[in-house]
Amino acid sequence: MSELETPPPAEGGRTHWNSRLGFILAAAGSAVGLGNIWKFPYITGENGGGLFVLIYLACIALVGLPIMIAEVFIGREAQRSPVGAFQALSKPRSPWAGIGWLGVLGAFVILSYYSVVAGWAMHYVWLSVTEGFSGKTPDEIGALFGSVAGSGSISTGWHVVFMGVTIAIVLGGIQKGIERGAKILMPALLGIMLLLFFYCMTLEGFGDAFRFVFSPHADKLTAGGALEALGHSFFTLSLGMGAMITYGSYLSKKADIVSTSITISILDTVVALLACMILFPIVFSVGGEPGEGPGLVFIALPVAFSQMAGGAFIGAAFFVLLVFAALSSSISLLEVASAYFIDERKWSRKKAVLFTGISILLLGIPSAWSQGNAENPDLPGASRLFGPSMKKLTEKVFGEGKGHDWLGLFDYLSSNWMLPIGGLGIALFVAWGVGGEARERGFKSGSKFASLYWGWVSLLRYIVPVAILAVILYKIGIFTPDAGK
Ligand code: PHE
């Protein structure tokens, strides 16, 4: 019998992944998402590439990877969703369960706006195949993005479609929904990316892009940028909110967690670097600016597509890829929220997924109405409320010029606060809160990396907490390494 046909071992009646490959693809699918393709290239561009990328790689290896192993360990050991897992591994009413709660809340917050951004990518697939970008001037393309993101009804429409597809996949369950989805989405994604990458190798900007990303220059890097690299390593690896605990809980207790975590981290990193080596050659070839910001994917790229031969096809392929990547991440976010109701409240999968999915859909509507242009006198009331008025209100908290619209606030709160605090809690829990014997057995079982055990524990005990605390203090403004720059 091949690995794929092996029936899942039923430990305590819990459904498990069908195969090791299924778990790796699903977890890598969760990790690879808008964070890799939309966010990583633009923050790399803003921070001048080079050294920033090197620091990011160090953060993945020294902070991200140890936390990922810790999360998968917690899930596999407890065979429960995050809230229950912390209780199962400590005491029933343990305060550690608070980290699980924070994760469930994080799933609601992140997915509600993630789905809106993914919806824009869906709209861009539609635009690429219907009207395309050729014949449009860069200004027109810039205005186009403003009108898509700024339109509450377009954004809401695609948000509903994207959430609908996410709900449909998660309703199918672990093997028939998530695992099967990942087995189609992940290879398709890698295939499309490689095709685009080979195309970009032929562009004249490829050499410049390569030097920009890989030669360790420190032109624009600040301490703030280095800390941004750390924060991003959480988001991109789906850490700090229980996604990997949840996926780990569908692993059999015999599964090797160390080498799978290493594989997932490498896949995630390769995709992030590939995304840079697709975006920057295009940007450099058409004389664009790498530090353009969040519009890089939605503005600079369509400008490039409008000018290149075969741009209509490449553009459509690229946005399809972005939607696939977002989808395999959004299903993990919905699964975290649903697993709580399935495991702890004993709801049926159908009831749990529909309830959480629809709640998240509703929670996302203000995000969809938050990107309108404040200068527009005809801006609908809802757009004004969740956009400019929200910005003014939050300026009172964050200071002049630092306000956020609804979508920006949810992004800020989740990636800058919830994930790092959750990650810190997870590291401390595994380093100090669980029994040493269970931890050692868990790390070593079936692993060829058993000799790295103490290295892992030391990273969790010392390096990870110090690094995360530095980020938190920096965010609060107590630790200001860039002062005077
Ligand atoms: N890792 C995903 C990305 O890079 C986002 C995500 C964060 C998914 C947290 C699940 C949990 O886009």
Domain count across the chain: 1
pLDDT value at position 332?
Answer: 94
- Is residue 334 over pLDDT 90? yes
Q: How would residue 56 be classed by pLDDT, with cut points 50, 70 and 90?
A: very high
The answer to the question of residue 10 being in a domain is: no
AA identity, residue 269: T
pLDDT value at position 1?
Answer: 34
Q: How would residue 375 be classed by pLDDT, with cut points 50, 70 and 90?
A: confident
Average pLDDT over residues 340-359: 95
The answer to the question of residue 391 being in a domain is: no
pLDDT tens-place string over residues 7-29:
444 445 678 888 888 888 889 99
Q: How would residue 80 be classed by pLDDT, with cut points 50, 70 and 90?
A: very high
Residue nearest atom 10 in ligand 1 by C-alpha distance = 238
- Is residue 50 over pLDDT 70? yes
- Is residue 134 over pLDDT 90? no
> Which ligand 1 atom is nearest residue 33's CA?
12
How far is the centre of ligand 1, averaged over its atoms, from the C-alpha of 2 (Å)? 32
CB of 238 sitting under 6 A from ligand 1: yes
- Is residue 394 over pLDDT 80? yes
Find the CATH number of the domain harbouring 224: 1.10.4160.10
The answer to the question of residue 146 being in a domain is: yes
pLDDT value at position 483?
Answer: 57
Least confident of 178-182, 236-240, 417-421: 178-182
Task: Return the ∠ at Cα 410 (arms to 302 and 85), rounded to 5°.
Answer: 115
pLDDT value at position 312?
Answer: 83
CB of 35 sitting under 6 A from ligand 1: yes
Average pLDDT over residues 82-99: 88
Average pLDDT over residues 327-344: 93
Residues ≥6 apart with Cβ < 8 Å to 132? 305, 306, 311, 312, 315
- Is residue 459 over pLDDT 80? yes
How far is the centre of ligand 1, averaged over its atoms, from the C-alpha of 171 (Å)? 20
How far is the centre of ligand 1, averaged over its atoms, from the C-alpha of 10 (Å)? 29
CB of 246 sitting under 6 A from ligand 1: no
CB of 242 sitting under 6 A from ligand 1: no
Question: What's the predicted TM-score (pTM) here?
Answer: 0.90
% pLDDT > 70, the chain = 95
AA identity, residue 256: D
CB of 329 sitting under 6 A from ligand 1: yes
Least confident of 12-16, 137-141, 170-174, 451-455: 12-16
Structure tokens of 45? Answer: 């561009």
Q: How would residue 207 be classed by pLDDT, with cut points 50, 70 and 90?
A: very high
pLDDT tens-place string over residues 275-310:
999 989 988 887 778 887 777 888 878 887 887 777
- Is residue 344 over pLDDT 60? yes
CB 135, CB 312: distance < 8 Å: no
- Is residue 391 over pLDDT 70? yes
pLDDT value at position 216?
Answer: 79
The answer to the question of residue 54 being in a domain is: yes
> Which ligand 1 atom is nearest residue 333's CA?
10
pLDDT value at position 76?
Answer: 93
What average pLDDT does the chain have? Answer: 88
CB 99, CB 429: distance < 8 Å: yes
Q: Which one is predicted more confidently, 14 or 128?
A: 128
Residue nearest atom 9 in ligand 1 by C-alpha distance = 238
The best mutation among 236, 329, 333, 421 to test binding of ligand 1, ranked by most ligand atoms within 8 Å of the C-beta, falls on 329
Domain of 58, in residue numbers: 20-370+405-475
The answer to the question of residue 428 being in a domain is: yes
CB of 415 sitting under 6 A from ligand 1: no
Q: Which range, 368-377, 386-395, 412-421, 474-483, has the best average confidence (pLDDT)? A: 386-395
CB of 332 sitting under 6 A from ligand 1: yes
pLDDT value at position 360?
Answer: 98
Strand pairing partners for 14?
Answer: 11
Q: How would residue 465 be classed by pLDDT, with cut points 50, 70 and 90?
A: very high
Average pLDDT over residues 54-59: 94
* Closest listed residue to residue 39, CA positions, set 240, 371, 275: 275
The answer to the question of residue 293 being in a domain is: yes
CB 23, CB 283: distance < 8 Å: no
Rounded CA-CA distance 370/411 in Å is: 13
Instruction: Print the SS3 string covering the chain.
Output: CCHHHCCCCCECCECCCCCHHHHHHHHHHHHCCHHHHHHHHHHHHHCCCCHHHHHHHHHHHHHHHHHHHHHHHHHHHHCCCHHHHHHHHCCCCCCCHHHHHHHHHHHHHHHHHHHHHHHHHHHHHHHHHHCCCCCCCHHHHHHHHHHHHHCHHHHHHHHHHHHHHHHHHHHCHHHHHHHHHHHHHHHHHHHHHHHHHHHHHCCCCHHHHHHHHHCCCCCCCCHHHHHHHHHHHHHHCCCCCCHHHHHHCCCCCCCCHHHHHHHHHHHHHHHHHHHHHHHHHHHHHCCCCCCCCCCHHHHHHHHHHHHCCCHHHHHHHHHHHHHHHHHHHHHHHHHHHHHHHHHCCCCCHHHHHHHHHHHHHHHHHHHHCCCCCCCCCCCCHHHHHHHHHHHHHHHHHHCCCCCCCHHHHHHHHHHHHHHHHHHHHHHHHHHHHCCHHHHHHHHHCCCCCHHHHHHHHHHHHHHHHHHHHHHHHHHHCCCCCCCCC
- Is residue 331 over pLDDT 60? yes
Residue nearest atom 7 in ligand 1 by C-alpha distance = 238
The answer to the question of residue 98 being in a domain is: yes
> Which ligand 1 atom is nearest residue 107's CA?
11
The best mutation among 116, 236, 238 to test binding of ligand 1, ranked by most ligand atoms within 8 Å of the C-beta, falls on 238
- Is residue 122 over pLDDT 90? yes
pLDDT value at position 283?
Answer: 85
pLDDT tens-place string over residues 221-270:
787 788 888 889 999 999 999 999 999 998 888 888 999 999 999 999 99
How far is the centre of ligand 1, averaged over its atoms, from the C-alpha of 324 (Å)? 13
CB of 241 sitting under 6 A from ligand 1: yes
The answer to the question of residue 189 being in a domain is: yes
% pLDDT > 90, the chain = 54
> Which ligand 1 atom is nearest residue 329's CA?
8
